[in-house]
């Protein structure tokens, strides 16, 4: 692993001229990620599911970073229709940076608008579809990056291609870590395919570590009862670190200039739970090309989104 002990949010280089999309930017890690990119000069699109919460976040961020170049656009990763509408409405000449941050965690069994188990459907299939549909705009940028937020919990997944969509059984924690393993497979496989096509696209995956966000207490978890809410809030407050610390891996992957594509950035502390951003290369999932390839094919079939990567020559043509 390559450590970066002195890296802080203040280390982020100038981002002027970059156009970035951050999904789930209305709260938590996504909010901090969007804010710090905007603070360094990027034009940041807050891609949020709930327009009201998104507008509140936009207003707050404008107050924290006066003069920031920000805009709000709606996308629901639990709906392929919404994802297609977002991509079809992209009206800029390029997209330099896509941060796939939005997700759900440890939620009761539920289905997305398209009938997918919600954690797999939102955390992986939604991310897969959005990235694929925005790919032409990414390839129009001179140095495009995709950052996908996985989780340190993915290391404990028993990845079962026959039960990704709760075809046989559903266990909340199992489904969550499996969906986050899928995110790591996706990010690395996207890099393999970009490399094979000779493209400049860099795809990264990150794990934020234990971080204080509303992922365990908000959204789909908000109606799980008083006892769950009390225990979850106590756990987050006592064991989890401040949100800006959790956003470091995303921002590191998005902005460090010499970071190679296919990097997996995690906290350097015990069990990847806290610490400074570091590049981890000894991860079995990174080398598991067979499973990653099968997951890719399954994802294309389920979403109807096919990645047609051009060659490096054709990508440069107007």
Adjacency order of strands within the sheet including 277-279:
2-3, 277-279, 264-267, 202-206, 145-149, 97-100, 19-23, 43-48, 69-74
Q: For residue 220, what are its two tokens?
A: 């789909």
How far is CA 251 from its chain centroid?
Answer: 11
- Please list, residue by residue across 269-293, b when 16 or more beta carbons sit within 10 angstroms of its beta carbon and e when fewer do: eeebbbbbbbbbeebebbebeebbe
Q: Which of 31, 176, 185, 252 is catalytic?
A: 176
Contacts of 144 (CB under 8 A, 6+ apart): 94, 95, 96, 97, 98, 138, 200, 201, 202
Q: 176 catalytic, yes or no?
A: yes
Residues labelled as active-site residues: 176
């Amino acid at each position: 692993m390559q450590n970066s002990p002195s890296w802080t949010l203040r280390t982020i280089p100038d981002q002027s001229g970059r156009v970035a999309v951050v999904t789930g930017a209305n709260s938590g890690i996504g909010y901090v990620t969007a804010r710090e990119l905007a603070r360094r000069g990027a034009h940041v699109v807050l891609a949020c599911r709930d327009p009201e919460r998104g507008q509140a976040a936009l207003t707050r961020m404008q107050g924290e970073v006066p003069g920031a170049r920000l805009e709000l656009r709606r996308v629901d990763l639990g709906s392929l229709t919404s994802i297609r509408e977002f991509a079809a409405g992209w009206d800029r000449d390029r997209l330099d940076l896509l941060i796939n941050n939005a997700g759900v965690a440890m939620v009761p069994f539920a289905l997305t608008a398209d009938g997918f188990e919600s954690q797999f459907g939102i955390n992986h299939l939604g991310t897969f579809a959005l990235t694929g549909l925005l790919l032409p705009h990414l390839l129009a940028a001179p140095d495009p990056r995709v950052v996908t937020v996985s989780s340190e919990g993915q290391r404990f997944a028993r990845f079962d291609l026959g039960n990704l969509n709760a075809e046989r059984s559903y266990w909340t924690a199992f489904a969550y870590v499996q969906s986050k393993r899928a995110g790591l497979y996706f990010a690395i496989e996207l890099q393999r395919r970009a490399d094979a096509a000779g493209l400049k696209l860099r795809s990264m995956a990150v794990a934020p570590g234990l971080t204080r966000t509303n992922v365990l207490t908000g959204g789909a978890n908000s109606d799980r009862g008083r006892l769950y809410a009390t225990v979850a809030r106590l756990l987050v407050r006592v064991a989890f670190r401040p949100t800006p610390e959790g956003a470091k891996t995303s921002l590191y992957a998005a902005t460090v200039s010499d970071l190679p594509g296919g990097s997996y950035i995690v906290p350097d502390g015990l069990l990847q739970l806290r610490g400074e951003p570091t590049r981890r290369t000894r991860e079995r999932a990174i080398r598991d090309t067979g499973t990653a390839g099968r997951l890719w094919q399954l994802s294309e079939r389920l979403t109807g989104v096919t990645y047609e990567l051009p060659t490096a020559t054709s990508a440069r043509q107007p």
